[in-house]
Amino acid sequence: SANWELFLRKNKRSNGYDQEANSSLEKESHQIRFSLNYQATPQWRLGWKLVSTGVRSTEIERGAGLAQDVVFTSKSEKWRINFRWLQFHTDGFDSRLSFYEPDVLGALAFPFFQGNGHRTAVVLRYLLNKDVRIEGKWGHTQYYGAESVGNGNTLSIGPYRNEIKLQLNFSW
């Protein structure tokens, strides 16, 4: 049996309202989030997320991102693999995008993206036994046309940013 899940949210924000001038202040932003999930079988789940942003201040900025998730869980539930692919395009910092991203147990990943590029992330979980779990994550982001990514202590020369996590969990 197949299960579908649909989610849609629209957001509108402004920096405030000037009552004396009877007008909005400097910046107004809009965001639309669309999410569709499909449980094809007990082992396979597919998901799509689309985010669109628009910001109006002295200039108009727009951004859009599309993510696809493929999750496989073995019948024994000892293995789980979560694959994420994300394509993004924004005009600037104000129209940056954020997406929740799967991660290892206890970690919260909600990265922001600006500019043009793509991200790939893979999270792998293996249950050794009922008390020991091994988890790992590999993430790779490429910014098209960038000479460097980040700044200060997080500066990477080149258009790439990689991340690797490995976690061993014991329970008793």
Q: How confident is residue 61, by pLDDT bands cut at 50, 70 and 90?
A: very high
**High-pLDDT (> 90) share of the chain, %:** 65
Distance CA 119, CA 111 (A): 10
The residue-averaged pLDDT of 108-127 equals 95
Comparing CA positions, the residue from 98, 146, 142, 152 lying closest to residue 121 is: 142
The residue-averaged pLDDT of 75-95 equals 95
The residue-averaged pLDDT of 3-26 equals 72
Distance CA 47, CA 37 (A): 4
Distance CA 53, CA 63 (A): 5
Of 5-14, 21-30, 38-47, 123-132, the one with minimum mean pLDDT is 21-30
The residue-averaged pLDDT of 98-124 equals 93
Higher-pLDDT residue of 167, 55: 167
The residue-averaged pLDDT of 124-148 equals 95
pLDDT for 22: 57
Tell me the one-letter amino acid at 63.
Answer: G
The residue-averaged pLDDT of 103-120 equals 93
pLDDT for 1: 47
pTM, to two decimals: 0.84
Instruction: Count CB-CB contacts under 10 A for residue 46.
Output: 13
Higher-pLDDT residue of 49, 55: 49
pLDDT for 28: 85
